[in-house]
C-alpha cells in the first residue's frame, strides 16, 4: 500500500464527505480525487515518473493539496518550497534535488520562483470540469511503499540545507498510529507552512482517515484569526509550534475551548502555557509532541489533561507505535534510568536519509546494534534521561543545533552564509536565550580592513537566509575570543545590545508611552524609543504575534499582524493605532 492507494480506499468509503474546507469552498473526497487524478495525468504527460522530484511553490489553499496528491498519483515525490525563503536558497534547493518541473500558483510566481525546465501555473492545469471519462479516472500508477513520497530541506551544519527523503511507508506508519483513533482528529486546522514537516500530519492524517482539512488563509496568522477559525470551523485538533502555542496561551487560552486536542512541539514547551490552556479549557487535551523530519515527524508524545498542577517541565513522553528508542552513551551502551544519554530512534519511521549526501546520511543514520541485520537508528543529537515512570525528559543538545520558532537551525549554516559577505574576516553565530523558550541568534563579526557597513550585512543576511535564520543582532569585534585550545570562547562573547541609545526619541503622548512600554516588555529590553525598529531590537514573527495581541487586549485596538511588518518602528505603529482609534 502507498499513500495515494490509501487515499483511494478512503474515497470509496466516504465519497461525499468533505475532504477540504477553505472559507466558503468545500471539496468532497470524490472531487479532490478527480481533480488530483486529472492533474496527475497531466504530470505524467510532462514526464513525471517514479521518484521524480516535483517542486511546489504555492500558497496555502485547495490547489496546494490537489498538487501534492497529484504528484504522488503520478508516481513522483513532492518537494515543497517555503514561500518566505530567499529566491537564491530556493534555486539552490531545486538544483541540488535535480528538479525539472515546478508547480506554482500566480501569487507565488509573481513573487519569484526558481528556474526549472518546466514551470506549470495553476491556470494551465486541466480544467475543473471533466473532459471525458479518462480525465477523472485515477491513472493507476503503482508506487512501492519504499518509494520516496516527499523531500524536505532542513538546516545543515555543513553550511548547506539537508534534503530529508521520506517514503510512503514512513508516512503510512505515522498515519496508522493509534493516537489518531480517538475521534479527536476529524477536523484538522492546517496552519503550518507546506515546507514544514508538520504538514505531514495536517495533510495525511485527516485525508487517510476520513477527516477534513480546514485550510487557514495564507499569510501571518494572528491570535484573533486562529481563534475565529477554531470557533467558526469547529476545529477538533490543531498543531501549533511551541512558540505560537505560548503566544495563544498568553493572549487567549479560552480560544481552545471547542478543540478536543491541541498538539504542540518543535521546541521546548512552556509548562505554564500548557497549564493556562488546561485551566481555561478543561475539556481540551494537550499533547506535547517530539520528533524530527528524519523520523517522519512525530516519534514521542506527552499527553496532558486537566485537572493537574503545573509541572516544572514538559517531558518528551513515551514513544508512538512502531518506534524503538535507545538512550546511549558515547560507546553506544545503554545508560541507567535517571542518567543522561543521547537519544537514538529506530523503527519503520526512519527516513531514507539525506538525498545526495551519503556522508551526512552515514553520520546520522547509523547501524542499529540492537536490531536485525541491516537495520538502522537515527542519532537525534538530543540528550534525554528516563524517569522512573518510563517517560523521557529533555536535557539539552549534544551538538550546536538549536530550535528557532520551531525550525531546526544549525548555526554553522548561518555562519557559512555570512562568511561569504565581502569584507568579513571572521564570523561566529551563537544563540542567546532571552527568556525560557525565547531563543535569538546573534552574529559576532570581525570586519576586515577598511570601512564596514553593518546595515548592509543585515540586508545581505535577509536576502540570503530564511527570516528565522537571520541573526536578531550583529556585534562587531576586533577579534573573536578563543579558549587556550584555540576554540571559540563563547563565555567571553559580549552580550548583544538590542537597543540604540544614540537614536533614542522619548515618547510623549499616552499612546506613544503605552506602545513603547509594550515594545520593551515583549522584546525584553529596558527602554524603547519612538524611532526604534521592532526587528532591529530582536523582534521575530512570534513576538510580532504577541505584540499585536497585547495591543488588542491592553489598548483595545484591532490591528492585523502585517501592519507591524510594514510599520516596524514605534512611531509608525502609533500612527496606525491612532488611525484605528479614529
Tell me the H-state helices in 238-370: 242-251, 271-280, 358-364
* Helix/strand/coil percent split, the chain, to 5: 35, 25, 40
Cα separation of 334 and 366, whole Å? 16
Phi, psi of 134 (to 5 degrees): -65, -25
Q: pLDDT (tens digit, 9 = 90+) per residue, 25-74?
A: 999 999 999 999 999 999 999 999 999 999 999 999 999 999 999 999 99
| Per-residue pLDDT, 496 | 82
Tell me the H-state helices in 14-157: 29-45, 62-73, 87-97, 106-111
Measure the CA angle with vertex 111, ends 110 and 115; round to 5°. 85
Q: Which secondary-structure segment (H or E) carries 233?
A: none
Neighbours of 488 (CB within 10 A): 15
% of the chain residues with pLDDT over 90: 52
Q: pLDDT (tens digit, 9 = 90+) per residue, 179-206?
A: 999 999 999 999 998 999 999 999 999 9
Tell me the pairing of strands 318-319 and 323-328. unpaired
β-pair partners for 265: 241, 289
% of the chain residues with pLDDT over 70: 92
| Per-residue pLDDT, 128 | 42
| Per-residue pLDDT, 306 | 65
Name the pLDDT band for 501 (thresholds 50, 70, 90).
Answer: very low
Q: pLDDT (tens digit, 9 = 90+) per residue, 203-217?
A: 999 999 999 999 999
- Phi/psi class of residue 378: alpha, beta or left (left: φ > 0; alpha: ψ in -120 to 50)? beta
| Per-residue pLDDT, 535 | 77
Name the pLDDT band for 279 (thresholds 50, 70, 90).
Answer: very high
| Per-residue pLDDT, 114 | 95
Max CA pair span of the chain:
75
| Per-residue pLDDT, 502 | 44
Name the pLDDT band for 134 (thresholds 50, 70, 90).
Answer: low
Q: Which secondary-structure segment (H or E) carries 3?
A: helix 3-13
| Least confident residue range of 342-351, 419-428, 536-545 | 536-545
SS3 label, residue 224: helix
SS3 label, residue 76: coil
- 178-188 burial string, b = 16+ CB within 10 Å, else e? ebbeeebbbbb
Name the pLDDT band for 263 (thresholds 50, 70, 90).
Answer: very high
| Per-residue pLDDT, 67 | 97
119-133 mean pLDDT? 70
**DSSP string of 419-464, one letter each residue:** HTSTTEEEEEEEEEEEETTEEEEEEEEEE-SS---HHHHHHHHHHH
| Per-residue pLDDT, 129 | 46
β-pair partners for 56: 80, 103
| Per-residue pLDDT, 523 | 84
Cα separation of 41 and 39, whole Å? 5
pLDDT of 310 higher than 80: no
Nearest to 439 by CA among 413, 394, 406, 481: 406
pLDDT of 278 higher than 90: yes
555-568 mean pLDDT? 76
Amino acid at each position: 500500500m502507498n499513500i495515494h492507494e490509501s487515499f483511494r480506499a478512503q474515497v470509496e468509503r466516504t465519497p461525499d464527505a468533505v475532504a477540504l474546507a477553505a472559507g466558503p469552498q468545500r471539496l468532497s473526497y470524490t472531487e479532490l480525487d478527480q481533480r488530483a487524478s486529472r492533474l496527475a495525468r497531466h504530470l505524467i504527460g510532462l514526464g513525471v515518473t517514479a521518484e521524480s522530484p516535483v517542486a511546489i511553490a504555492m500558497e496555502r489553499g485547495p490547489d496546494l493539496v490537489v498538487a501534492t496528491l497529484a504528484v504522488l498519483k503520478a508516481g513522483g515525490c513532492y518537494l515543497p518550497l517555503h514561500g518566505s525563503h530567499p529566491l537564491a536558497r530556493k534555486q539552490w534547493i531545486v538544483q541540488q534535488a535535480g528538479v525539472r518541473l515546478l508547480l506554482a500558483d500566480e501569487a507565488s510566481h509573481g513573487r519569484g520562483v526558481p528556474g526549472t525546465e518546466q514551470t506549470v501555473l495553476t491556470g494551465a492545469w486541466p480544467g475543473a470540469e471533466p473532459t471525458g471519462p479518462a480525465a477523472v479516472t485515477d491513472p493507476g500508477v503503482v508506487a512501492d511503499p519504499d518509494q520516496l513520497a516527499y523531500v524536505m530541506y532542513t538546516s545543515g551544519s555543513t553550511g548547506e540545507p539537508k534534503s530529508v527523503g521520506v517514503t510512503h511507508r514512513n508516512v503510512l506508519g505515522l498515519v496508522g498510529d493509534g493516537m489518531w483513533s480517538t475521534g479527536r482528529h476529524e477536523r484538522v486546522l492546517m496552519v503550518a507552512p507546506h515546507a514544514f514537516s508538520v504538514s505531514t500530519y495536517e495533510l495525511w492524517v485527516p485525508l487517510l482517515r476520513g477527516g477534513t482539512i480546514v485550510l487557514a488563509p495564507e499569510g501571518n496568522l494572528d491570535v484573533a484569526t486562529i481563534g475565529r477559525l477554531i470557533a467558526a470551523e469547529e476545529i477538533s485538533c490543531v498543531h501549533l509550534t511551541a512558540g505560537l502555542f505560548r503566544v495563544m496561551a498568553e493572549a487567549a487560552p479560552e480560544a481552545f475551548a471547542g478543540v478536543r486536542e491541541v498538539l504542540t512541539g518543535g521546541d521546548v514547551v512552556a509548562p505554564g502555557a500548557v497549564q493556562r490552556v488546561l485551566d481555561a479549557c478543561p475539556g481540551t487535551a494537550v499533547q506535547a509532541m517530539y520528533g524530527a523530519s528524519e523520523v517522519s515527524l512525530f516519534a514521542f508524545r506527552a499527553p496532558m489533561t486537566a485537572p493537574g498542577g503545573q509541572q516544572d517541565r514538559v517531558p518528551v513522553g513515551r514513544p508512538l507505535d512502531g518506534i524503538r528508542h535507545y538512550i546511549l552513551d558515547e560507546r553506544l551502551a545503554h545508560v541507567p534510568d535517571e542518567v543522561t544519554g543521547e537519544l537514538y530512534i529506530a523503527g519503520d519511521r526512519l527516513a531514507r536519509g539525506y538525498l545526495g549526501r551519503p556522508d551526512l546520511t552515514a553520520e546520522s543514520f547509523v547501524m542499529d546494534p540492537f536490531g536485525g541485520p541491516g537495520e538502522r537508528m537515527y542519532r537525534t543529537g538530543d540528550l534525554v534521561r528516563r524517569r522512573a515512570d518510563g517517560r523521557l525528559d529533555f536535557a539539552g543538545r549534544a551538538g550546536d543545533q538549536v530550535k528557532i520558532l520551531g525550525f531546526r537551525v544549525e548555526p554553522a549554516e548561518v555562519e557559512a552564509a555570512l562568511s561569504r559577505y565581502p569584507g568579513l574576516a571572521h564570523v561566529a553565530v551563537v544563540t542567546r536565550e532571552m527568556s525560557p523558550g525565547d531563543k535569538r541568534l546573534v552574529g559576532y563579526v570581525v570586519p576586515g580592513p577598511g570601512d564596514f557597513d553593518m546595515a548592509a550585512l543585515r540586508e545581505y543576511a535577509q536576502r540570503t537566509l530564511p527570516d528565522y535564520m537571520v541573526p536578531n543582532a550583529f556585534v562587531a569585534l576586533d577579534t573573536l575570543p578563543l579558549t587556550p585550545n584555540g576554540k571559540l570562547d563563547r563565555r567571553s562573547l559580549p552580550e548583544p545590545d538590542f537597543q540604540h541609545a544614540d537614536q533614542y526619541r522619548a515618547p510623549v503622548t499616552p499612546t506613544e508611552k503605552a506602545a513603547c512600554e509594550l515594545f520593551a516588555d515583549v522584546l525584553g529590553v529596558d527602554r524603547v524609543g519612538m524611532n526604534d525598529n521592532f526587528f532591529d531590537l530582536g523582534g521575530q514573527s512570534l513576538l510580532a504575534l504577541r505584540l499585536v495581541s497585547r495591543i488588542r487586549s491592553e489598548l483595545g485596538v484591532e490591528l492585523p499582524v502585517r501592519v507591524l511588518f510594514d510599520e516596524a518602528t514605534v512611531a509608525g505603529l502609533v500612527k496606525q493605532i491612532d488611525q484605528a482609534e479614529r
